[in-house]
Amino acid sequence: MILGIGTDLANIDRIQGTLDRFGERFKNRVFTEIEQQKAERRKDIAGTYAKRWAAKEACSKALGTGLAMGISWKDMAVQNMRTGQPTMSVTGWAADRLADMTPPGHEAHIHVTLTDDHPWAQAFVVIEARPVMQSNNQKPAQGG
């Protein structure tokens, strides 16, 4: 079942301006070390940061909070699988919110997709709850 959906559109030139103006201060406030390492290795550094910015905004919307209710930017982090597919991990308040949203007998999966076409970067996030499989007969666990 779908627990939440979020989307965001970020202007790459705006993110570039913020990087130019605030540099490390901005990066360290918003992005994890892994996100920064990924962005700094890319040809389009600002575009990479803009996609991750949009993903964090979209995730906060899918969590039903926006960035208002105690979520920290770094509570949501974009990482990539070996295939390049982006994934979203959550910690802190975002993880607590996700746990509260997830029905008993289910586990949450956060799906994320990123795209950019200068000057825009876009992200979609879908939070899905899947039934937890019982080990003895592989049927979904019953929620309480």
Tokens of 86: 């982006």
d(CA 7, CA 21): 26
84-131 pLDDT, tens digit per residue, is: 999 999 999 999 999 999 999 999 999 999 999 999 999 999 999 999
Per the domain annotation, does 37 fall within a domain?
Answer: yes
Tell me if 51 sits within 8 A of 116, measured CB to CB: yes
- Torsion over CA of 58, 64, 65 and 70, rounded to 10 degrees? -100
Tokens of 41: 């290795």
Number of folded domains that form the chain:
1
pTM of the model: 0.88
pLDDT at 54 over 70: yes
Identify the band that residue 49 occupies on the pLDDT scale cut at 50, 70 and 90.
very high
Per the structure, the complete domain to which residue 114 belongs is given by 2-131
Per the domain annotation, does 44 fall within a domain?
Answer: yes
5-36 pLDDT, tens digit per residue, is: 999 999 999 999 999 999 999 999 999 999 99
Tokens of 88: 């979203």
Tell me if 19 sits within 8 A of 26, measured CB to CB: yes
Residue 17: CATH number of its domain: 3.90.470.20
